[in-house]
Amino acid sequence: MYGWIWRRLPFGRPGKIIGSVLLAAAAGAILWFWVFPAAHSLLPFDDVQVGPP
């Protein structure tokens, strides 16, 4: 999978390294700013008050 991406990245070794970093950063940003905030509300950390059962 990663090998397949690596082989398709252009501009020789420097280009492949820069391209890999950019792809990883983009994936991380999508997770951090969109996926994780949405996933957070599915966790049980929101129950903080006492209340009737």
The residue (of 18 and 39) whose beta carbon lies closer to another protein is: 39
How does 26-44 read in b/e, with b if 16+ C-beta sit within 10 Å?
A: eeeeeeeeeeeeeeeeeee
17-46: contacts with another protein (CB under 8 A): 28, 31-32, 36-37, 39-41, 43-46
Q: Does the footprint of another protein cover residue 49 (CB under 8 A)? A: yes
Write out the DSSP string of 22-39.
HHHHHHHHHIIIIIHHHH
Binding site for another protein (CB under 8 A): 1-3, 28, 31-32, 36-37, 39-41, 43-53
